[in-house]
Amino acid sequence: MRLTPDQFWTYWEWLFERGGLLGGFLLALILAVLGFIAGFLIATIKYGPAEGFLQVAKILGEFFTVDLPKMSIRRIFAIAKLSFKEAIRNRILIVVAVFVVAIMFAGWFLDPKASNPAQLYIPTVLTFTNWLMLLMGLFLSTFSIPRDIANRVMYTIVTKPVRPTEIFLGRVLGFVAVATMNLVIFGVMSYFFIVRGLSHTHDLESLQNDGLAGETTSVRFHSHSFTLNEDGVGTTNMVKGHRHIVRKVGDKVVVSEQVDDLTARNPVYGTLRFTGRDGEENTGYNVGYMSEYQKYIEGDTLSSAIWKFENVDPKLFPDVLNFDMTLSAFRTYKGDIETPVGGVVIFRSLDGEVESDRIPFRVKEFQIDQHSIPLKLKGFRKGEPADLDFFTDIAQNGSFEVVVRCRDRGQYLGMAAADLYLRASEGTFVWNFIKGYISIWLQMFIVVCFGVMFSTFLSGPVAVIATISVIVLGMFGWFIDNLTTGKISGGGPVEALVRLPLQSGSETQLDLGNEMIEGAIKGVDRGLLFSVSTLKSALPNLYDLETSDFIAYGVNLFDGLLARHLTIAFGYFLMTSVIAYFFLKTREMAG
Amino acid sequence: MSSAAPAAPETNPTTSSAPTNPDIIVETRSLGKIYRDFWGRKKVQALKSLDIEVRRGEIFGLLGPNGSGKSTTIKLMLGLLFPTSGRAFVFGKEATDVAKNERIGYLPEESYLYKFLNAEETLDFYGRLFDMPASVRKERTEALINMVGLQRARRRQLREYSKGMTRRIGLAQALINEPEFLVLDEPTTGLDPIGTREMKDLIVKLREQGKTILLCSHQLADVQDVCDRVAILHQGELKELGRVDSLLKVQDVTQIHAKGLDENTKSQIRDLIAKSQGELLKMDNPTTTMEELFLDIVRDSENRPGRRSSNAS
Ligand SMILES: Nc1ncnc2c1ncn2[C@@H]1O[C@H](COP(=O)(O)OP(=O)(O)OP(=O)(O)O)[C@@H](O)[C@H]1O
Ligand SMILES: [Mg+2]
């Protein structure tokens, strides 16, 4: 699981500082201007400019004066209920059967030897549910209005006092209700599938040390070892992402069901800085390929990555200090390809006087590398070996540093701020799981909005294709980004158009001998490119709303992120409502 | 042969104001419709410059052969189509205005309803679209189902309905809001003779309740029985418009039935007729049938486009 820096923004930070609100507002503005121009052109072709302008103004006016204020909840519900009935009577619930069959197959095919079954089961189930819901949203939403128009049932609808807004809202509401019902069923079934699929316990294989340590039997391709304290309580070691609580009851040692595989931990993040080969401050090394997102430290030098944590609440870590790493390795020579690149972690106080022993690790790429250290630990005080207490000695006032170095000469370790975090045990898995389903719901909601919108002016199959295209294009937003950040030589569209007849190469500076014109061309281009990049956000990037990793890796989905996704979905809902309104309003239902 | 039909004015007289007379339920002003294909190319001129008025409390019939533009006219009045030229007003408002629908009931050519709903659900659904509270919906549903005689099929999905039953539920749907103005597109098609009789009785009864009715049909007998005024369309043009009784009166024939005339008077009349080379049959103003009139108009208009030289008002 790889977190990107933007996922850490709080909701308000995103809304106000990172352009969430501004972007939405600009998009609305650009769409409004484009819509007005398009409407005016079409009306002009039909009625001539003066009459055309009047028509556009009239429709706009009616939107605000009657069609919005005179909406009726009862009518919206009537259409919603109708859509719901229609879907049910078209046997939408067959999809539930599909889901049951699919989940049975999953039960057979998911590899029980996987190194972390939870991290296999959860994403599989969530991803499958996600796709199924998107498909359901797509096919539910795109056919009804075109069918009503083709069957002419629309004649008896629009000759009642029904407003275009109500048709759109009613349809969306109805389809979302049907899909939600399905999603709830899927969610409950998935939950039990996951819980039952992971649930197991072990018997005792052997006991040592007067019954205070031992081995469990092998169940589901793994076994654990454990030690108990004087009170006869303890846990096993972590295998395949889980542990078991072990208790001595009378003479018997009892191993309970597994714990820790279904969690929702709240990660605590720090800020990251780097030092170079000789210990000097730098910004980390680039290794020249892959993402710019991570920076690298060099092996067997003083080059290190230093995370600073501040004001960490000791209450979040009552027994142990858990921390996770998601580092990546870059090899400048192959070396021993079997052994992963190794490194060390050191916890130290801010003044650097107290530090822990070096904790060695080997990089587990593309996985979460989970560690924990005891709160009573060995280390050094002013260079002298000492027994330390984490929160009194190292983390005074909850603030401390974590230093990561790479041990292998000539190899590099890559990291970004989010690649090392403390893992507080908080939050319940069920609630996190529900949040994951809310993410799926939001994606389905967006698809339904677009599907219904397209179906107001396209036939069913074409609306399906259009909706799919929007989703696919939305996922390739980064491509348009590259196009519009101006990195491409030869300037924007207008400049390119001017260059064409001049046969001026795209590498040379534009020279028309008139700075005003050149400036104007560049200005227009900048405006155009900016508009295009804003317009791009009219296409939803469903991939960004995907959160199954959070659930799978037991990280509590940040509320700020979920709130952001909710807001984005609502934005698309508003956008599609308005577009659908104008199409329904200006469409001849009997044409 | 008179000259070609006047071309429909292509300008949209938006500047002319909406009618204010509350007794004019529908008014069309040089209403025209051209169906175009996707590319905007002309396919059919379905309606040419139609001027009619439907007055409060009357039963107005739109007549014409298949494809003459009757349904097109109705759709324009309901805002289901937008006019290519001219305007249509209903209750003094633009035909595309949604609010007018509160007072209108519409029975389409075929009953276009949701096939997966049953009769009760259908009426309940349309009742909701009028924002009617549950108790009112229930009451109206009950009354209408009884009125159209679907008590025994009320819980069956419409997909199982026969043609006549579909027609009946379509009518019930059109009456759900107790409309002031009822638009019926071929109300009697698909109905058996009893159903047809009931439909006609109902239409007359609704007029007695003060409702205004616009219907179109080519069941000429129906129209003759119930309509107060008719407009006859052919190929999108208005051919005749007037009261049914005066339209059916043949003005240039006199039919004399007399009683108590003495032989002298009779011979005088005969002489008079003989003098003007006539031949007495019966002395009377005979009435023709709707069918005669209709066939006559159609025949006539095949040869001579444009409004017929009228013999009625
Ligand atoms: N949606 C449409 N697209 C193209 N042409 C159409 C459309 N609807 C009707 N027309 C044409 O317009 C003309 C008038 O049709 P309309 O349905 O108004 O006739 P009508 O008088 O109701 O006939 P009928 O008695 O058969 O119902 C016909 O030539 C018809 O082919
Ligand atoms: Mg018709």
Tell me which of B38, B44, B80 to substitute to probe ligand 1's pocket, judged by most ligand atoms within 8 Å of the beta carbon: B44
**C-alpha closest to that of B231 among B75, B59, B84, B8:** B59
pLDDT tens, position by position, B219-263: 777 777 889 998 989 889 998 888 877 777 665 556 666 666 777
From the CA atom positions of chain B, what is the Rg in Å? 23
Domain containing residue B33: 1-96+228-249+288-313
> Between helices A429-455 and A559-586, what is the axis angle to 10°?
20
Query: What is the DSSP track for A398-452?
Result: G-EEEEEEE-STTEEEEE-GGGEEEEE--S-HHHHHHHHHHHHHHHHHHHHHHHH
| Distance in Å, CA B195 to ligand 2 centroid | 20
Look at residue B211 and tell me if it is in a domain. no
Does residue B26 belong to any structural domain of this protein? yes
CATH of the domain at B28: 3.40.50.300
In this prediction, residue B250 carries a pLDDT of 61
Our answer on whether the CB atom of B71 is closer than 6 Å to any ligand 1 atom is: yes
Residue of B129, B130, B136, B171 to mutate when probing chain A, most A C-beta within 10 A: B129
Question: Within a domain: residue B86?
Answer: yes
Least confidently predicted of A284-298, A453-467, B73-87: A284-298
Is residue B146 assigned to a domain? no
Write out pLDDT tens, residues B132-186. Answer: 999 999 999 999 999 998 999 999 999 999 988 999 999 999 999 999 999 999 9
Q: Is B128 on the interface with A (CB under 8 A)?
A: yes
- Assess if residue B125 is contained within a domain: no
Residues B46 and B5 in one domain: yes
Q: Is B41 in the pocket of ligand 1 (CB under 6 A)?
A: no
DSSP state letters, A515-584:
HHHHHHHHHHHHHHHHHHHHHHTTS--GGGG--HHHHHTTBPPPHHHHHHHHHHHHHHHHHHHHHHHHHH
Secondary element (H or E) of residue A158: helix A153-158
Encode burial over B27-43: b for 16+ CB neighbours within 10 A, e otherwise. Answer: bbbbbbbbeeeeeeeee
pLDDT tens by residue, A380-431: 998 899 999 999 999 988 899 999 999 988 889 999 888 898 988 667 899 9
Residue B171 with chain A: CB contacts under 8 Å: none
Residue B272 included in any domain? yes
Tokens representing B183 are 């638009």
Q: Which of B110, B128, B173 lies nearest to residue A75, judging by beta carbons?
A: B128
Kindly state whether residues B19 and B51 are assigned to the same domain: yes
Q: What is the pLDDT of residues A482-541, one digit of tens each?
A: 555 545 555 666 777 777 777 666 666 666 677 788 788 878 877 877 777 777 788 898
Closest CA to A424 of A589, A501, A314: A314
**B278 and B297 inside one domain:** no
Report yes or no on B207 lying in a domain: no
Non-local (6+) Cβ contacts of B40 within 8 A are: A45
Contact across the interface for B131 and A156, Cβ inside 8 Å: no
Burial of A482 from C-beta contacts in 10 A (0-12 / 13-18 / 19+): exposed
Cα atoms in the 13 Å half-sphere on the side-chain side of B61: 30
Q: How confident is the model over A247-272, as pLDDT tens digits?
A: 888 888 888 888 878 888 888 888 89
Domains, chain A, ranges and CATH?
Answer: 5-197+428-590 (no CATH), 204-259 (no CATH), 267-423 (2.60.120)
pLDDT confidence band for A293 (50 / 70 / 90)? confident
Chain A residues touching chain B at CB-CB below 8 Å:
45, 47, 51, 54, 66-67, 70, 72, 74-75, 77-78, 81-82, 85-86, 89-90, 151-163, 588-591
Provide the domain count of chain B.
2
- Asked whether the beta carbons of B71 and B214 are under 8 A apart, the reply is no
- pLDDT for A158 beyond 90: yes
Whether residue B298 lies inside any domain: the answer is yes
3-state secondary structure A512-530: CCCHHHHHHHHHHHHHHHH
| pTM score of the predicted model | 0.82
Of A90, A161, A589, the CB nearest to B130: A161
CB-based contact (8 Å) between B77 and chain A? no
Exposure of A246 by Cβ count < 10 A (0-12 exposed, 13-18 middle, 19+ buried)? buried
**Hey, what are A401's tokens?**
């540093």
Task: Please compute, for residue A576, the number of CA atoms within 13 A of its CA located in the half-sphere on the CB side.
Answer: 29
Nearest protein CA to atom 24 of ligand 1, as residue: B66
Ligand 1 within 6 A of CB of B69: yes
